[in-house]
Structure 1
């Protein structure tokens, strides 16, 4: 399996990235038509977040979100195989100075992110820019394919940390001034219900726990596609917590809510770039299903 994927990636990265991106977008739109299960998930998510919008708008955003996912998937061989210089030439930076200053403090940084536009390029960009970065990820079951992905994602020096290895490494990484990158926009079965886009979803509290315990600076980061091309803007922003009266501390839920709220403007601005195909609000879906069953 891994050999097949490597061969396919090698061939695709030989083609112009704009061509494979356009082909991927076309495949994504095709899958919108034939993949009823995921189409239903996307439209259900859009109904939950944008109840006031007309059906035609939601269908258009659903189409484009599938197209963006297909475009991103077929761009991945270029992300994993092209040079540092080539990839950095495709990314504009915004807010990096504040992030660099936070890293220079030597206490580490908690860097929160989401699946927005080409997230593989976003994750790779931190090590390309020279930052010591630890990224928490979910290993694949197929060992050889997992190794290929690990090699690709760490080729510029990033450290990938499996969800299965615990967090004993994290305090040392912060002490050494690393940036700890955590995705906060995915359903976590053992997570804590926190509003995301205004609706409760099971969410990791890792950024809140370690930011509070070690007084670690919190940042958000997102990668925006420029038009439909293989050009992007990488944006960093500091996440400031509301002021508290003396003797009080923020709870993990309050911190996570502030973090999640900081991503909402970007998603609302260009909703087609976010990964709607994921059941982000499974927590609410299950609650609603139980309520319906109790009424029968």
Structure 2
């Protein structure tokens, strides 16, 4: 019953036109930033630790830019419930789809890597429309089972298969060597049971997932980064594909993980306001 109620509410809200939803987003900005101060201590601590070279005034302006963008993600996620494929492709431009197709045409699987940057959810939508090959969206299950099922239903509307992180290798094996496209949101925070590998990321020791690298090594497939950035026009994005790794066997252990995290860091430094700063990314510390 609760799951159905959530879905009905999302459906009704998603029928609102974009101009009304963005009006709601503008109001949410003031509520989140000035009234309830949603996770402001997390955001400001993250910015201070990530950009110690910036002044307090610069970080404050950056935080305000982020809080103006963040509500857009909320209303755009709601719109996913009823957006058509045509609307998705009008609002997120695939700059170079041939970068993915060249691997699929060689009968390779694609290990896609992205981050909580830009509108990654719409980016996943567009990737679902990129090919008719099996599309696997690798996700970390939410604690709320009802919301998890509703959200996965949104993400898989265009034929993608939602695969929990711990089951991805099993799903790939079932494909019997057929080409596929997968995507990992690789900047999530692992538990200590899932990873023990730390890197320097945005000036901080950071526990990172190594799953994309492990899958690439086991399957001998390339890693393609999906940079999902925001255009100047509100509600419009782009997705640029970059092949970071052609042959995983050419790299030492952890080099691939370092490579795609460095790529993410570079993107964040260029336009920091589009990364998810409310995320408690550095809550795991190295055990002594």
TM-score category of the 2 structures, normalised to the smaller one: 0.7 to 0.9
Distance 2:247 2:166 in 1: 33
Instruction: Give the match's secondary structure for 2:207.
Output: strand
TM-score by length of 1: 0.86
1:53 aligns with 54
Per the alignment, residue 101 of structure 2 pairs with 100
Question: Does 1:212 pair with 2:206?
Answer: no
Distance change >3 Å, CA 256–CA 198, structure 1 → 2: farther
Deviations 1:217-267 (A, max 9, x none): 111002212125111111111104899xxxx96333221111111122321
Cα offset, 1:35, TM superposition: 4.4
Match for residue 161 of structure 1? 163
More helix by share: 1
Query: Match for residue 153 of structure 2?
Result: 151
1:177-188 matches, within 5 Å, as 177-188=179-190
- 1:28–1:71 CA contact under 8 A, matched in 2: no
**Helix, strand or coil at the partner of 2:39:** helix
TM-score by length of 2: 0.88
Aligned to 1:233: 238
Q: Helix, strand or coil: the match of 2:191?
A: coil
Structure 1 portions without partners, runs of 5+: 291-296
Name the counterpart of 1:5. 6
Please say which of residues 119-128 and 23-32 is displaced more in the overlay.
23-32
Q: What 5-or-longer segments of structure 2 have no aligned partner? A: none
Q: How far did 1:130 drift?
A: 2.5
Q: CA deviation at 1:276?
A: 0.9
Counterpart-to-counterpart distance in 2, 1:17 and 1:48? 35
| Per-residue deviation, 1:39 | 0.8
> 1:14 matched to which residue of 2?
15
Query: For structure 1, which segment, 1-10 or 252-261, has the greater mean C-alpha deviation from structure 2 after superposition?
Result: 1-10
